[in-house]
Amino acid sequence: MSCITLLVLLLLLSCALANIKDNNLSGFCAGHPGIPGTPGRNGYPGLPGRDGRNGRDGLPGQKGDAGVQGLRGPMGEQGIPGLPGPIGEKGFKGDSIISFNSAFSAKRSKTHTFPPLEEAVQFDVIIHNDQRHYDPVTGKFTCEIPGLYYFVVHSTVFKTSLQFDIMKNNVSMSSFFQYYGNWPKPVSLSGGALLQLDVKDQVWVQVTVGDYNGIYSSAKTDSSFTGFLVYSDWQNAQILI
């Protein structure tokens, strides 16, 4: 056998073995790759799917931080004034920002000494006289704050009758009398008056009738003169500020 013949047989045998290995017995040798086919057409769109079920509400979110305050807007136009409201009830009288005070109280110290007639009775022992509007030497009160004042006299009467007047600028404003009935012990006589006073008006106590001057004082009994401002006259009081 020639060499060429031997080579052809070996070639045929190797092709047969290759076809058996690839399970392809249709031919003795594998052919060359075929030409790629043409691309296929795009498919038609599918039908819309059914709507899904509504989901559950989510949990509330956390509160956010406060935002930055915005700028103040421009002032709006003034509105139409409303109708007047009903008149309210009268309020209580308030306290004055400026306080006007005037008050005094004094008693007699001259034991068994009766005052002279038609002169101011001296109540020379001061009990209260912060504003010094009462003069214990003269026995007279001098008005420094115009207004309404109240004056009162409490007198012990002993061994004689008593008649005294509350005087304003030499004019009797009120008069009081106690008749002595030979009592073995002292008795009392009191009297008071509300007086409207202007600046520099004076008020005092005076005995004016005969010997009816039985104002008495001792270690256990007193005769006193007291006065104080009830309320001031505002219009005139402003002048003193």
Percent of the chain with pLDDT over 90: 38
- Cα torsion 144, 238, 103, 118: sign: positive
Which residue(s) pair with 168 in the sheet?
171, 203
Res. 142 pLDDT band, cuts 50 70 90: very high
Instruction: Please list, residue by residue across 119-131, b when 16 or more beta carbons sit within 10 angstroms of its beta carbon and e when fewer do.
Output: ebbbbeeeeeeee
Entry pTM: 0.58
Res. 217 pLDDT band, cuts 50 70 90: confident
pLDDT tops 60 at residue 121: yes
pLDDT tops 80 at residue 1: no
Res. 52 pLDDT band, cuts 50 70 90: confident
Q: What values do phi and psi take at 59, rounded to 5?
A: -70, 145
pLDDT tops 60 at residue 27: no
| Domain map (residue ranges) of the chain | 103-240
Res. 199 pLDDT band, cuts 50 70 90: very high
Lowest average pLDDT, out of 129-133, 136-140, 175-179, goes to: 175-179
Q: What values do phi and psi take at 149, rounded to 5?
A: -120, 155
Neighbours of 103 (CB within 10 A): 16
At the top level of CATH, the class of 103-240 is: mainly beta
Q: Which residues contact 112 (CB under 8 A, 6 or more apart)?
A: 216, 218
pLDDT tops 50 at residue 162: yes
